[in-house]
Structure 1
């Protein structure tokens, strides 16, 4: 397959997304924001996603290996890189993971948390995403969305929400992300899709997918038309254009005025 990639930070802070691809593999990671809270780690989220991404690509060189096994190995290898850090801290650097791998007659996919993979077929769009986090602390999420983005009240409400979410992260009754334990890999959504009938696939961080899923200013058909017409950079530019019309989050309440945005657009010959 032919893969085009793009990623862009949501503001002045370093980009905490990560993307890479080969002719048979596309990986998108979205680092979870720490909102200034203690993580027990001196390295930070950008370091974590770059290390996890590199080890994940290396672990999946073997085309027949289960994606969960590759992710579990990558998580353990990254944890071994910084044993001096407090990897048991509930806020240890973490990320969503989305993996697409093309085989002879099918795609294998893995989605851990809310960075979706979208399959474009002749008559529909099939979205694979993991929204378990949305069920966590809904009352604190609602409180955060009451305030204009970037205000002191919004910042404090967001901090309280993240503190509470962390207590449910990587627990049986909570939600799962890539962090310091390979166990998380086995809680990902996985499956296979026949190559036949698939026109293209988009692997996205939620900073890009929100154009369709949250802002609802475009359909998936529109998004794929943009990818073909103006490319991956063009799709992200459209996200930024829409966000600029609502910088304070009045129309679309959100945690950041602009989130890091990433896409890998996979086209079949």
Structure 2
């Protein structure tokens, strides 16, 4: 089994707000991957004493453990339980009703001898390679459909679309959001490899338009996960003022890539 995992902060002076994990039981008959992209809040109060990195470590750890120890639960149920567990860990000290309480995008995949299950919430991506080499992206595109004027720069407008009907959803403090995730399953025989990406790594395709999802997958398969991140960093550095490639809130973003052949 080939596996690769890389997570690199956009700014070496700041903590990496992504989270990534691979759970590979010794039996070799199944496993799981977890990728989270913590949402950096605007400067100011977010109602929480904890960092986004703390939140992602708590949520990611719960997702990893539950995926392995509770194979009787669906991925939706696992995400719901993990959100509840994480909320309980800081409900006594923090205002979890704040619209900018720590939150994250989620990619979760789990496989057994017979089936591969997947879950995607918000704008991280999961790519699946079939035995014939065809690449299928599993995406939650609701954030991409939200007008940019409603995001980030205006807290009032942002609150009308974040975790709201008609807007987009992230894993924060409400377990019911798990039901909003994009989910599905495939026969194990239909999956040769999986590739999970936060949007900082997916920029190669989504922002810089250097190639299709299939082209991106080919880079990772041939050159490795670190090579994809290196390519993204070079493109970011060449477009530091973000004048050519619009739609980037940061020059450099945290970038995470997880590749596995289940």
User: Which deviations, in whole Å up to 9, do the C-alpha atoms of 1:12-69 show, x marking residues without a partner?
Assistant: 3211100000221010000011021321001020110011001111121222320011
Equivalent in the alignment of 1:261? 255
The partner residue of 1:66 within 74, 82, 98 is 74
Give the superposition deviation at 1:118.
0.6
Give the superposition deviation at 1:135.
2.5
Equivalent in the alignment of 1:49? 56
CA distance in 1, matches of 2:22, 2:145: 32
Give the superposition deviation at 1:176.
1.0
Q: What's the TM-score, normalizing by structure 1? A: 0.88
Give the superposition deviation at 1:174.
2.0
Give the superposition deviation at 1:134.
2.2
- Gaps in structure 2 of 5+ consecutive residues: 25-30
Give the superposition deviation at 1:140.
4.9
Q: Is residue 11 of structure 2 the alignment partner of residue 8 of structure 1?
A: no
CA distance in 2, matches of 1:35, 1:93: 11
Give the superposition deviation at 1:159.
2.4
Higher relative contact order (CA 8 A, sep 6+): 1
Q: 1:81 to 1:140 in 2, by over 3 A?
A: closer
Q: Is residue 94 of structure 2 the alignment partner of residue 93 of structure 1?
A: no
Task: Answer with 207-216 or 47-56: which moved more.
Answer: 207-216
Equivalent in the alignment of 1:159? 153
Give the superposition deviation at 1:263.
0.9
Runs of 4+ in 1 over 6 A off after TM superposition: none
Equivalent in the alignment of 2:139? 129
The partner residue of 1:77 within 70, 85, 90 is 85
Q: What's the TM-score, normalizing by structure 2? A: 0.90
Task: Answer with 189-198 or 163-172: which moved more.
Answer: 163-172
Q: Is residue 36 of structure 2 the alignment partner of residue 29 of structure 1?
A: yes
User: Which deviations, in whole Å up to 9, do the C-alpha atoms of 1:142-201 show, x marking residues without a partner?
Assistant: xxxxxxxxxxxxxxxx522x5522332222222111000101111111001222232211
Equivalent in the alignment of 1:172? 165
- Gaps in structure 1 of 5+ consecutive residues: 142-157
Task: Answer with 222-231 or 88-97: which moved more.
Answer: 222-231
Mapped contact 2:137–2:213 kept (Cα < 8 A)? no
CA distance in 2, matches of 1:111, 1:221: 19
Give the superposition deviation at 1:123.
4.7
Task: Answer with 120-129 or 52-61: which moved more.
Answer: 120-129
CA distance in 2, matches of 1:82, 1:22: 26
Q: Is residue 120 of structure 2 the alignment partner of residue 111 of structure 1?
A: yes
